[in-house]
Structure formats: structure tokens, C-alpha cells
Amino acid sequence: MPKIEGTERIDLYRIRVPKGFVPGMKTEGIIFVDETLEQELELESVRQVANVATLPGIVGKSLAMPDIHTGYGFPIGGVAAFDVEEGVISPGGVGYDINCGVRLLKSNLTKEEVEPKIRELIDLLYAHIPSGVGSTGKIKLSPKDEREVIKKGAIWAVEQGFGDAEDLQRIESHGCLEGADPDAISQKAYERGRAQQGTLGSGNHFLEVQYVAEVYEPEIATVMGLSKGQVTVMIHTGSRGFGHQICDDYVRVMLQAAKKYGIELPDKELACVPFRSREGQQYFSAMKGAANYAWANRQCLMHWTREVFLRLFNLSPKDLGMKVVFDVAHNIAKEEFHFINGERKRLIVHRKGATRAFPNGHPELPDCYKDIGQPVLIPGDMGRVSFVLVGLPKAMEETFGSTCHGAGRLLSRNQAIKQARGRSIKQELAERGIIVRSAGKETLAEEMPDAYKDVSNVVDVVHNAGIARKIVKLKPMGVIKG
């Protein structure tokens, strides 16, 4: 029996949310979950999948990945595509932390070399990577600088000496979306973003030192430069208060404008406007600016991470060999071409807590990955494991080239704090051999492993469903949290 009444199981890895689950659905919903993860589904997140299916101009299905949980308007883990001429754009389909994403770095160091110094390494990283609620960084942007960041993204960071041009080749969209309009962004957003460039932030954001624990596909792993026992670093953060303010500003704009365009909303959190409208294009331009801010942010954090490793291990940059494997966004809307009923169509694809997963041969992939497909980075919680996958052709057929973005929350932050009372999460992790530094006990409680689904189950669903393939498994050695 399905856990949520009215849904239907299609196969081992998908359930259907049929038209009629909520009034006005233009298409059905598809959720990628096996029977185990189905038991963790929330009724509200399923209803959100159905609500998205009511929006004008939706193309294909309203989709959700196995890390699905209730979000703002769209579920987290949600994917939806809209016709660029007839469809809408919605801030709720991108999220408040625009271009929250993940960057993976590889190194020439091994687990055995790093383990004796892991506590010192984590302390140094915590000292040099600004983190925590409202944290401010080492970079103070002038109004002119801020506009340059918005237009250039990671390119701006490289121009300032934060990393190398070579880094840009292995970033989604080369770290810059063209067409960002600084004039589409409010003064309040600029004020919030001015001191937060080069900061990790709080919540589920982290910097994690890991090692390659298992290699499933050695040939593909070799192309990525990954091998068993190798030390890697994963950085997870986004556009901080800058992107949050842009989302907030445009939700308000679109709630008013939706009435003007005669759009009936099943939930005001789905505030949207026609993509081609003036308001739609303004939001899209502002969202691009926030996405570029986030790519610059991860670029700066990577640069300081390299510097800490170089200093502690007393290595030359060549000997350290710390390079980008890939950088992916998982809160973003992008114009892409997809085949719908055999016809190539231009769509605006919303990925809200979902990762792009393009297959080999896709024209948007860097040359180094053309033969294997796009690396897909899926972090788990800080106590278990993370994965690197590659996108597969079936993703283009079924999910607009998308897959999951992480483990997905199981408990709300308040529930996690309650469950953590009387426990030392830091000590529990230390007993597993994982060194953690954070701004406070509450952060660790909110982000404890029990608060998340098991990422291994989540990744197995997308692997077995054929939309992405497991390449390597990474295990944490040390983590810094906001």
C-alpha cells in the first residue's frame, strides 16, 4: 500500500502523483523513491509536487528526487520545466539560497598523510574560513566591486588572485551566467552581500575534508583524477544573504504581479509570473547575479583552503595538486534545450535542491568530461558518506538532466535540537574518527546525522533508476560548520 493515499507505485524506484491529486493539475507528478524512502515521505511535500503541476506552461512531469522534503512553494528535491513562451518562472522553484551548490577538490595527499594532522588542519581551516550566522569575510566589496562580482562570478575571483583560470573549466557554466543585471537587484540585497563574499555561512553549509573510500568505476574515476585513499575537500555554500534578499524581494513582486497576469495560485509560496514578462526577466537577471555571487564565493573559499593545506603540509602548489574536480549548482533556474515528444524545445528548468546530471557528449560539458558525462556531487550528512556520480542519457529523457542534491532532511531543525538534548554530537562524531568545528552546539544538533536520510539509500535510487551512476564514495575525516 502507498504511504500517501492517492499516489501509485510505477516501478521499484518511482511513484506517480496522478492528475486530480489537487485541483487544476495540468500534468502528473513523478517522485523517485523506493519503498524504504517512500515511508519517509511527507504529505505536504507530495502536495507541493502536485501544486507545481498546476502552474501555467509546465512541460513534461512535475518531478521530485529521492531527497524530497517540504520546502518553500516547491518541494526541496523538486524539478520542473516550463515553456519559455507560455510558461512561468518562480522564485520558489529556485529557493532562497540561490546557487547553493557543491565544489569538490582533489589533492595528491593520502588519508595516511593527512590523518596525523587532521585536528590541526580542521582548526586552521576553521580559523581561515569565515563561517556562522551573519558571518563577514576578509573581502569588503565596494559598490563597483559588487557589480563586477554579479556580472563575472568566479571569473571576478580569479582576476583578484583567488585561484587560477584553469579552475573555471570545471565549474558548471564556467562559473558565470551571462546576462546578470546589477540594476535588477535592490539596495538592501547589496547591503547584505557587501561583507559576505568569501564566507561559508551557517545551517547545512560546510567544508569537509574527506578521502576516497571506495571506487566503483575505476576508468571514469581516473578521468576525474580520483583514486582510493586520496584526500578530497568538499565545499557546500551559496549566495548567502545576498541571494536570500533577492528571493524575498521578487516573491513580493510576483505575488502582486500574478494577479495582473491572471495566474491562480494554489499556494502563495508559488508566486510566479510569465517568464517573458518584465518582472520575470528582471528576476531571472537578478537570480543570475546571485548565482554568479555564489560561484565567486566558492572560488574564494577554495583559494583559502588551498593556502591552509600548503602552509600546514609545507608543499609547493604542484606537489599538493589541489584542483577542482567539479562545481555544481543545486538551487537555480536555467534556459536549456530538451526534447519533448521528439521536438527540441527551449525551456526554463527549475532545480530546487536538485543537481544537473548531463550525460556524456552533452555540448555544455567541459572537454575533459565529454566522454564520461558530468560529475554529479552528492554530499551526505557529516557523519556518514558522500558520493560522486556521473549523469546518464536516461536523465535527459526522464528528469530534464537532473538528479538528487544530497541526503535530504528527515527532521526539522527544532526536532533535531530536541533529539540532541543530553548528547554531545561533537563527541559522537569524534568516536567515529570525524573531527568537527562549529560556531556552537546548536548548529551541530540541527545538523546531526540523525536529522538526515541515509544518503546511500538516496543515491541507490538514482543509480538504480538509471539517471546517474555511482563512481566513488567519500568518507569524512573532518568538518567545519557555520
Q: Which are the catalytic amino acids? A: 405
| Phi, psi (deg, nearest 5) at residue 371 | -85, -20
Known binding residue 181? Answer is no
Known binding residue 407? Answer is yes
197 CB-near residues (< 8 Å, 6+ apart): 137, 139, 141, 149, 293, 296, 297, 300
Cβ–Cβ contacts within 10 Å for residue 43, how many? Answer: 13
* Euclidean distance between CA atoms 240 and 234, whole angstroms: 18
- State the DSSP H helix or E strand holding residue 157, giving kind and residue range, or none if neither: helix 154-159
* Euclidean distance between CA atoms 196 and 301, whole angstroms: 12
Cβ–Cβ contacts within 10 Å for residue 203, how many? Answer: 16
Known binding residue 303? Answer is no
Known binding residue 379? Answer is yes
Q: Please, are residues 103 and 283 in contact by the beta-carbon 8 Å criterion? A: no
Known binding residue 481? Answer is yes
Known binding residue 405? Answer is yes
* Assigned C-alpha cell, 203: 545551517
Specify the residue for cell string 555564489: 294
* Euclidean distance between CA atoms 142 and 241, whole angstroms: 17
**Nearest CA among 26, 68, 83 for reference residue 50:** 26
Known binding residue 128? Answer is no
3-state secondary structure of 357: coil
- Residue 339 corresponds to which amino acid? F
Known binding residue 249? Answer is no
Q: Please, are residues 387 and 459 in contact by the beta-carbon 8 Å criterion? A: yes
3-state secondary structure of 43: helix
- State the DSSP H helix or E strand holding residue 311, giving kind and residue range, or none if neither: helix 278-313
Known binding residue 396? Answer is no
Known binding residue 204? Answer is yes
Known binding residue 206? Answer is yes
Known binding residue 193? Answer is no
Known binding residue 408? Answer is yes
3-state secondary structure of 175: helix
Strand order in the sheet with 343-352: 8-11, 14-17, 29-31, 58-69, 76-83, 343-352, 331-340
Between helix 278-313 and helix 118-128 the angle, nearest 10°, is 140
Cβ–Cβ contacts within 10 Å for residue 86, how many? Answer: 13
Task: Write the DSSP assignment of 434-480 as a string of letters.
Answer: -EEE-S-HHHHHHT-GGGB--HHHHHHHHHHHTSEEEEEEEEEEEEE
Known binding residue 81? Answer is no
* Euclidean distance between CA atoms 249 and 302, whole angstroms: 30
Known binding residue 476? Answer is no
* Assigned C-alpha cell, 354: 536538485
**Nearest CA among 18, 352, 369, 342 for reference residue 172:** 369
Annotated binding site: 97, 204-208, 236, 330-331, 379-382, 386, 405-408, 481
Annotated binding site for Mn(2+): 97, 205, 236, 330
Annotated binding site for GMP: 204-208, 330-331, 379-382, 386, 405-408, 481
